[in-house]
């Protein structure tokens, strides 16, 4: 087994494992042994809870109030800050419209 493992570039343990996995039947053909796998518990997935729809204004307010996004926008130079806010709000409108369908 050591020589074969060296020739094919694997460990002796791999050869031993493969040997245990396959047994030779009377005709000389090898058949895999039945592999016993542990049972995996079934996880029950509950249906999604009904949510109350939110308005676009709530959607935008929630976006700007979470994290440092609003602070980051306020720290932008005055010549580009309002434009960035406008682009973000356009993206939020698009996302809200898509999610509301």
| pLDDT band at 36; cut points 50, 70, 90 | low
Domain presence at residue 73: yes
Domain residues for the domain of 18 are 2-32
- Main-chain phi, psi angles of 45, to 5 degrees: -100, 125
Reported confidence tier of residue 85, pLDDT bands at 50, 70, 90: confident
Residue 76 has pLDDT above 80, yes or no: yes
Taking CB atoms within 8 Å and a gap of at least 24, the contacts of 57-62 are 59/92, 59/95, 59/96, 60/89, 60/92, 60/96
Q: Quick check: is 48 in a domain?
A: no
Asked if residue 64 is part of any domain, the answer here is yes
Non-local CB neighbours of 11 within 8 Å, separated by 6+ positions: 5
Average pLDDT over residues 26-30: 55
In a domain, 10, yes or no: yes
Whether 69 is in a domain gets the answer: yes
Q: Are 28 and 62 found together in one domain? A: no
Percentage of the chain modeled with pLDDT above 70: 76
**pTM: predicted TM-score of the whole model, two decimal places:** 0.45
24 within domain boundaries: yes
Tally of domains within the chain: 2
Are 27 and 61 contained in the same domain? no
């Amino acid at each position: 087994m050591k020589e074969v493992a060296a020739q094919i570039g694997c460990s002796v343990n791999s050869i031993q494992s493969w040997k245990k996995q396959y047994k030779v039947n009377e005709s000389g053909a090898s058949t895999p042994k039945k592999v016993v796998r542990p049972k995996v518990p079934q996880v029950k997935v509950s249906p999604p809870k009904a949510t109350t729809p939110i308005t676009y204004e709530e959607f935008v307010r929630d976006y700007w109030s979470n994290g440092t996004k609003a602070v980051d926008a306020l720290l932008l130079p005055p010549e580009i800050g309002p434009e960035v806010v406008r682009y973000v709000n356009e993206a939020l409108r698009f996302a809200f419209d898509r999610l509301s369908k």
